Structure 1
Amino acid sequence: MSKTSSMGRGMMAIIAVGERHAEGHDGGTVAEVAARLEKDRSQVSRSLKGALQEGFLARSGDRAYRLDWSFLTDAQLVTEQRLRTDGLTALEGLATETNEACFLGVLSGNSTVTIAEHVPANADLVGSWLGRPYPAYCSDAGQALLWDAPDDEIRRIFQNVDFVRHGPNTPASVDEFVGRLEEARTRGYSIVDEEAEPGLYSLSAPIRDFKGEVAAALQIVGPKSRLEPLRESHALALNSWRDWLEARVGGTASDPTAAS
């Protein structure tokens, strides 16, 4: 019990230091953190020293505690590793439920790149997409990867991009892309309907990391004739495995296998 409460106090102290950074301060002294938390200085001092020893905080000559940003780098590396390991588990589970090809993609400039895939034998897709870039404005993962991006950032990403037609429904402009993204946000997942190529249909959802930022997109891809009639059930499976994978990289906990 005491260990748990001690850990909780330590996390509160770290968060308080982070809040001071967010307000423009260069960390905080014991007195400043104690005042923010309205806690006893000696208790806060012990919490800050513990966080210092664990590598979450650094201390400067003026006795102020600051976040040690190196731990964020370590956490980012763990996220990337889990996307490639637990991501395969999510892809296999999603492909088993839907019997369609499933992919995990990331954003690279104005393109998307597949970092993991699971393609059932009957998926009717030839070749591998691993490591292959595709224009984000019409790719299966593009909308999901730009899910949280403000309009001005999206326009900046596509400012030098020609919206070349890849399928009958490829967006013709950034305005059209933004409009479809707004619809996807309302729906809760994206639908890319013959935008990447004729006859191809996909569903996709964003995967957020421990910082709350979109780190990847989980996708179901297949022939429109087969996938569109099952869109609602496939969307449930997609969101379930999205939640599971997010839990592995820092998001909310959810296990789609728990009900089985």
Structure 2
Amino acid sequence: MSFIESPSMNSLEVADAGDRDYVASLARGLEVISAFTKSRPKMTLSDIARSTGMSRATVRRLLLTLVREGYAEKDDKLFYLKPKVLKLGYSAVSSMSMLDVIQPVMNELAEKLQESVFAAVLAGEDVFYVARATSERLINVGITVGKRAPAFAVSTGRILLAAEPEALREKYLDSVKLEKLTPNTVMSKVKLRALIEEARLSNYCIVDQELEVGLGAISVPIRNGDGKVIAALNVCCPSSRSSVQDMQRQILPEMMAAAQKITAGL
């Protein structure tokens, strides 16, 4: 489930032009918002037109509307989002009933493992953390609700991308710009594609110090009653405390059980 999910061009193309309930301009406006990522916080009108596949004229009207409403700002030729856009995300998070089910299970998991536990959803090319549970340890991982991270470099991102339709995964891989965040960050799209496929087949993903040196993470999918992946359950822990093998042997079984418990409660 994408949190601020960019409507694909395919969905815009197949929308029934006679459907009075479908507002194409709103869908395109959301796609423009989703075009901005951590690696591309500021873009020109032409950049956004290329990223979304829309005409420059359409993008210009949408951007100027966002500027006028206080969701974006213009600096010479560059456009960027303003903090007001976060209200859209927080409003959605607060209304997500699944959090009522997820949070207690996450709290139990954090207490059992004595590690930080998170839940995340897709937000364009990033993941967006929607819930957090901390342990009694003095030092917990400093990820807060509302924080974003590049999907390519985190286990939550790979789990969530693995659940997307193949066409959307390929669109993501075509457009994403990989950034070397640590010496361990995967910089090959061929390898990234293989790791996403591995996550899809194994139903879990481990990332070792790709986002931050000294930090390992493991994620599993959270599914609803219909089997659809709606979020990723994530445990982050210092590499000095848990190796990749430790995460597989000790943490993964507990996470799988927690994910099943969440599914049963949804």
- TM-score interval, normalised by the smaller of the two chains: 0.5 to 0.7
- 1:233 CA drift (Å): 1.5
Spell out the pairing of 1:25-174 with structure 2 (5 A cutoff): 81-122=96-137, 124-125=139-140, 127-174=142-189
SS in 1 for 2:253: helix
Q: Which structure carries more relative contact order (alpha carbon 8 Å, separation 6+)?
A: 2
Which of structures 1 and 2 has the bigger CA Rg? 1
1:175-228 CA distance string (max 9 Å, x none): 221211223334331101111111111110011124432110001101112122
Residue 246 (structure 2) pairs with residue 230 (structure 1):
yes
Letter matched to residue 110 of structure 1: E
Q: Is there any run of 5+ residues in structure 1 with no aligned partner, and where?
A: 1-76, 250-260
Structure 1 residue 168: deviation in Å? 2.2
CA distance in 2, matches of 1:82, 1:149: 22
Partners in 1 of 2:102 and 2:201 — Cα distance? 25
The answer to whether the Cα contact below 8 Å between 2:125 and 2:172 also exists between their aligned partners in 1 is yes
Distance in 2 (alpha carbons) for counterparts of 1:123 and 1:201: 18
Q: TM-score of the superposition, structure 2-length normalised? A: 0.59
Shift in alpha-carbon separation, 1:126–1:227, aligned structure 2, 3 A: closer
State the percentage of identical aligned residues. 27
Contact 1:155 1:174 in 2 (8 A): no
Supply the AA of the counterpart residue of 1:218.
Answer: L
Secondary structure of the equivalent of 1:159?
Answer: helix
Among 225, 243, 246, the residue aligned to 2:263 = 246
TM-score computed with the length of structure 1 as normaliser: 0.61
* Residues 123 and 167 of structure 1, relative CA distance in 2, 3 Å threshold: farther
Q: How many residues align?
A: 173
Q: Which amino acid in 1 is paired with 2:198?
A: E
Whether contact under 8 Å (1:201, 1:224) holds in the other structure is yes
Q: How far does the alpha carbon of each residue in 1:24-43 deviate from its partner, in whole angstroms, 9 at most, with x for none?
A: xxxxxxxxxxxxxxxxxxxx
Task: Classify the secondary structure of the residue corresponding to 2:177.
Answer: coil
Q: Which runs of 5+ in 2 are unaligned?
A: 1-91
